[in-house]
């Protein structure tokens, strides 16, 4: 067992500290689950977002969610190298490219240039594009808790935080 598997999270359960967070989490899930984007695509871009921000907890979480929904190991593993992997549809590639553009700084120019927006718009209507933006944002909303609170990767949400009774 390595140090990350035995370490204690720094924060107590955020839902206990900020009870309003459970309503926000539920609302974010409803927004991303509005049906305009397949859940599998949402999962792929959220895994990619966790990889880009370099957070093990989020990467393990979203890999597990994808696995539990029946995604293949090839597709899950290939998200890190999606650009040359043969496992993704053109629509998924556009969504992954959008995720990369939003989350990775560029030396110059817009993060989401008109050409990329046009590529995404070939596959998704405006509601779906807004949903993609919210799905990317959903992961980023939790990045501070995942990096500051340091929950244990691979541990269920109910058991990942230190006890509030300590």
The lowest-confidence range among 16-25, 29-38, 126-135, 153-162 is 153-162
**Number of compact structural domains in the chain:** 1
pLDDT of residue 3: 46
Beta strands in 22-137 (DSSP E): none
Residue 133 lies in a domain: yes
Tell me if 76 is assigned to some domain.
yes
Q: What is the pTM of this model?
A: 0.86
Average pLDDT of the segment spanning 111-128: 97
**CATH at residue 74:** 1.20.1290.10
Domain of 131?
19-153
Establish if 51 belongs to a structural domain: yes
Tell me the per-residue pLDDT of 6-43, one tens digit each, with 9 for 90 and over. Answer: 567 888 778 788 889 889 889 999 999 999 999 999 99
Pairwise CA distance, residues 42 & 45, whole Å: 5
Query: Residue 1 gets which letter from DSSP?
Result: -
Residue 79 placed within a domain: yes
* Radius of gyration from C-alpha coordinates of the chain: 17
> Which tens digit of pLDDT belongs to each residue from 77-86?
999 999 999 9
Could you give the CA distance from residue 135 to residue 143 in angstroms, rounded to a whole number?
13
For residue 104, is it within any domain?
yes
In a domain, 125, yes or no: yes
């Amino acid at each position: 067992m390595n140090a990350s598997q035995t370490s204690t999270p720094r924060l107590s359960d955020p839902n206990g500290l900020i009870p309003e967070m459970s309503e926000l989490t539920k609302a974010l899930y409803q927004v991303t689950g509005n049906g305009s984007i397949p859940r599998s695509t949402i999962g792929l871009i959220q895994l990619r977002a966790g990889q880009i921000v370099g957070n093990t907890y989020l990467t393990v979480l979203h890999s597990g969610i994808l696995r539990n929904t029946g995604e293949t190991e090839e597709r899950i593993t290939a998200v890190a190298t999606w650009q040359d992997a043969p496992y993704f549809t053109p629509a998924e590639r556009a969504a992954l490219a959008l995720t990369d553009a939003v989350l990775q700084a560029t030396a110059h120019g817009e993060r989401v240039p008109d050409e990329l927006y046009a590529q995404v718009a070939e596959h998704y209507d405006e509601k779906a594009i807004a949903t993609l933006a919210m799905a990317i944002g959903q992961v980023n909303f939790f990045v501070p808790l995942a990096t500051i609170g340091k929950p244990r990767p691979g541990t269920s949400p109910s058991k990942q935080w230190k006890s509030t009774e300590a």
